[in-house]
Structure 1
């Protein structure tokens, strides 16, 4: 597992229309965008209130939580930026959302990460979440050997299969639709997810 993981600020996972990049601790642009997305009413409906309502709180969260995710697994939460044209660099692109692949720690974690995303509403319905999620999963499989991924509210079109409404201890025991990569054990209890 990586420790003190510090990718270069210019690193990105490029797709046809997007750049997926690590959130840089201490980068004011990243901090303000992260705060903006997590405080949108449309996003809070899905993730709840997270008490990340000041730049200072978000900066601490990125330095402590987001960086810890990178140190633990090499992946975690990422910025998604829209290219103004197909050959655009990361610096030329505009932040439009976040995509995450988070390997949660015990006792509430599972042996595989879960995928999620949050985009500013004006960019909903354009396929960006699907494009970003597929690219991030492929990157994590290739670079970090990820063999399984869980998802909540994730569309089957990114390649995950619906496994039913299950209780998720990583999300305070709520019942939620669960999706998993094809090939993972049909009995999700082996991963700690109960029916």
Structure 2
């Protein structure tokens, strides 16, 4: 049975090198990470705490998934408490009319830990959990057209390139679109249209 995201501060999805866990607004390190990653409009820990309470936890309650913390284990059997925060992995599905019918995967790792495969490992771990425990059978990936690093991660996690489209959820910006194999080639069935 899947865990309630908003009520389990000790829950973790463990991968070989990482823990994937929930944001908690009352833990300063969680708030400071959002500030450090330069999230739009979040420039203080207080704003980050409000964002976690009002937005991130709302996504957990609505979809049973959302934006999650990525922590690096210092050794193979390390607990969540022993691990160091290094980024965020997300599985997001918006609300109609602008939200897509299937979630999209996202990731952001702190600069000094980039290029070590952590984004790929975290994304695979979250997608496997969501498929197994939450019944999520379709996942999109979106990135800027000229972002080869993000494109490589999306391909490594098993998504297929489906072209470039102007996406309303990103203000009409043209993005590279990826989807899991088996998702209908006509992406309009998922709310993605040209």
Query: Given the two structures, how large is their TM-score scaled by the length of structure 2?
Result: 0.90
Aligned residues: 183
Q: Does 1:144 align with 2:134?
A: yes
Structure 1 unmatched runs, 5+: 40-49
Query: Aligned equivalents of 1:38 and 1:111: distance in 2?
Result: 28
Query: Hey, what does 1:171 align to over in structure 2?
Result: 170
Query: Aligned equivalents of 2:16 and 2:37: distance in 1?
Result: 23
Question: SS at 1:122's partner residue?
Answer: helix
Q: Does 1:89 align with 2:88?
A: no
- Quote the offset at 1:7 in angstroms: 3.5
Counterpart mapping for 1:17-56 below 5 A: 17-38=17-38, 50-56=40-46
- Quote the offset at 1:38 in angstroms: 2.6
Q: Is the 8 A contact 1:9 1:24 kept in 2?
A: yes
Q: Pairwise CA RMSD of aligned residues?
A: 1.4
Query: Aligned equivalents of 2:51 and 2:136: distance in 1?
Result: 25
Query: Aligned equivalents of 2:24 and 2:46: distance in 1?
Result: 15
Change (3 A) 1:129 1:70: same
Q: Which runs of 4+ in 1 moved over 6 A?
A: none
Query: Given the two structures, how large is their TM-score scaled by the length of structure 1?
Result: 0.90
Q: Is the 8 A contact 2:69 2:85 kept in 1?
A: yes
Structure 2 unmatched runs, 5+: 144-149
Q: Is the 8 A contact 2:34 2:42 kept in 1?
A: no
